[in-house]
Amino acid sequence: MNVIETTALTKEYLVGWRNQTRLLALDDLNLQVGAGKIFGFLGPNGAGKSTTIKLLLGLITPTKGTGTLMGISIHDKNARERVGFLPEDPSFCTYLRADEFLELCGKMLHLERAARRQRIDELLDLVGLAEKRRTKIAEFSRGMMQRIGLAQALMNRPDLVLLDEPLNGLDPYGRKELKTILHRQKAEGKTVFFSSHILSDVQEMCDEVGILNRGRLIAAGRLSDLLTARHMALSVPELEMDTLKRLEPLATSITRQQQRWHVQLKDPSCKDEAGAVLRQAGQSAIEVHAQSETLEEFFFRRIEEDDHERPVHNL
């Protein structure tokens, strides 16, 4: 069973006062996220990432389509029983102390008093705020706010953790700790679904990603399947001038380093043609480097392709 499943989930907003125009925030989203995965949800600003998360949590009503969390309809408040959520840029109850805020969240999750107190201690330790437990949230920095937000999201040991831009405001230590916490969640069989703009972190942490652009899901799947071999380079000991000239149209660069020629191919598909040129010259590559596309490269390529396929004025 998928932990998250959406079918044709769509959200349209009416914008403006007198001359109302329709803004398609999410367009026919069909998404499945399996259990025990870390799923990264990517997209430019306004792509519909936060809208999707809010739809999943029943905070906004879909224009059409439906979805389930752990098999329960998103319209049913029981679907949120086993879910933890961290909103984007929260500020929470600034008049409460850290432990009082977690106490409030624990009560909302119907945790018993003893279990609640124990969990609060564990979580404050986990997010590194144990010494700030009696500090008012109003005095927290942005990074500390993210930490306390993460603590409340994990209060009920949720099966699904939904995080909206959790890396915002965290320093490198905070980001590292967050990654450790999320990996621990995964190791415990929990599912983590988060949106982010920090593509290097997403690539490092996620098993699967989905990319939204202007409300539409333009790519989704396992990272290993999405990031194909994008760059290929050959190393050759000696090359005649004639062979170099024949390789030039296939390469982005040809350089000489440490007694070797390095031929950076334009495309991995040029590999066979370059091999044929070398064989004709009585040479063969002594090393072939295949470099996968980075998530960042994949992201920009897919967004550009989508923008080309669906120009903005068509919306």
Partner 1 sequence: MNDLFTICKTTYTRILRTRALYLLLAILLLIVAAAHLYHDLTMGREKELMFDTGAVVLAVVGLLTGLVVVFDVARDMREKLVVTLLSKPLGRTQYLLGKFAGVIWAGTINLAILTAGISALLYLENGSGRPEFLKAAFGAWGAMVMATGIGVLLITFLTEIPAVILTLLAFGLGHATERLYQSQWTIGSILFGVLPNFALLQFKSELSNGLAVDWSLIGLSVAYACVYTVALLSVGAILFHRRDLA
Residues in touch with partner 1 (CB under 8 A): 13, 54, 57-61, 77-78, 80-81, 83, 85, 87-96, 104-105, 107-110, 149, 152, 156, 162
Q: What is the DSSP letter of 284?
A: -
> What is the nearest approach in angstroms of partner 1 to the Cβ of residue 60?
4
> What is the nearest approach in angstroms of partner 1 to the Cβ of residue 201?
22
- Closer CB to partner 1, 94 or 180, in the complex: 94
Helix axis angle, 113-126 to 142-153, nearest 10°: 140
> What is the nearest approach in angstroms of partner 1 to the Cβ of residue 191?
16
- Closer CB to partner 1, 69 or 124, in the complex: 69
- Closer CB to partner 1, 54 or 216, in the complex: 54
> What is the nearest approach in angstroms of partner 1 to the Cβ of residue 56?
9
The length of the chain is 315
Going through 17-174 in order, the beta strands assigned E by DSSP cover 21-33, 38-42, 64-69, 72-73, 83-86, 160-164
Distance CA 313, CA 315 (A): 5
Other C-beta atoms within 10 Å of 64: how many? 11
Tokens 């590194």, located at residue: 128
- What are the helix and strand counts (H, E) for the chain? 10, 14
- Closer CB to partner 1, 22 or 245, in the complex: 22
- Closer CB to partner 1, 104 or 288, in the complex: 104
> What is the nearest approach in angstroms of partner 1 to the Cβ of residue 112?
12
